[in-house]
Amino acid sequence: MRVIAGSARGRRLKTLEGMDVRPTTDKVKEAIFSAIQFDLPDAAVLDLFAGSGQMGIEALSRGAASVVFVDRSARSLQVTRENLESVQFAEQAQLHQTEAQSFLQSTAMQFDIAILDPPYRKGMHEKLLPLLAEHMADNGIVICEHETGLEMPQSVGVLEQKKQKKYGAITVTTYICRRD
């Protein structure tokens, strides 16, 4: 696993081993970040279900101002911390070891971009999207990675589906926050 572009381009990242982890492929990661490249500079980013931190680190490498990494696993956050230190982005990061739902219910933070990649087939998108909507800046972007075949809603409160793209077994659905 590596950083694809930006100031840390080409740097290798540690990954987690095991069946609970499903790192985003380079192809999907490149597609996601190509779509939001002009929104990243100086953005406040949320990486829910951070895993090894590769998505948030990619955002920092491409100019995001800060990233909040949330994962319930201490092991995941330890690998994220090591990866952040190896690419020298630790100063721009906050790490929270908690459930995604608990984090969203207790934080007052606002985000320009949120990356949501929960475990598949657990119904987490429908629980988390309404909570996440409360923390998005106007015109903020929510990127949901999920299994192909999952029906994602056209809108959730102030979030409106903007785009959906399939990559084999993975689909990425993008929402934009409209508070008009």
pLDDT band at 61 (very low <50, low <70, confident <90, very high): very high
Q: What is the CATH classification number for the domain harbouring 62?
A: 3.40.50.150
pLDDT at 22: 60
Q: Which domain holds residue 113?
A: 26-177
Domain membership of residue 107 (yes or no) is yes
- Domains in the chain, number: 1
Q: What is the distance between the alpha carbons of residues 127 and 145, in angstroms, rounded to a whole number? A: 15
- DSSP state for residue 25 in the 8-state scheme: P
| Other beta carbons less than 10 A from residue 119's beta carbon | 11
Domain membership of residue 46 (yes or no) is yes
pLDDT band at 11 (very low <50, low <70, confident <90, very high): confident
pLDDT band at 1 (very low <50, low <70, confident <90, very high): confident
Query: Which residues is 165 bridged to in the sheet?
Result: 172
Tokens coding 90: 């630790």
Domain membership of residue 17 (yes or no) is no
Nearest in space to 76 (alpha carbons), one of 141, 3, 16 = 16
Domain membership of residue 19 (yes or no) is no
Domain membership of residue 2 (yes or no) is no
Q: What is the mean pLDDT of the chain?
A: 92
Per residue in 94-144, pLDDT (tens digit) is 999 999 999 999 999 999 999 999 988 888 999 999 999 999 999 999 999
Domain membership of residue 170 (yes or no) is yes
Per residue in 29-55, pLDDT (tens digit) is 899 999 999 999 999 999 999 999 999
Domain membership of residue 1 (yes or no) is no
The helix/strand/coil state of 45 is strand
Domain membership of residue 6 (yes or no) is no
Nearest in space to 93 (alpha carbons), one of 80, 110, 78 = 80
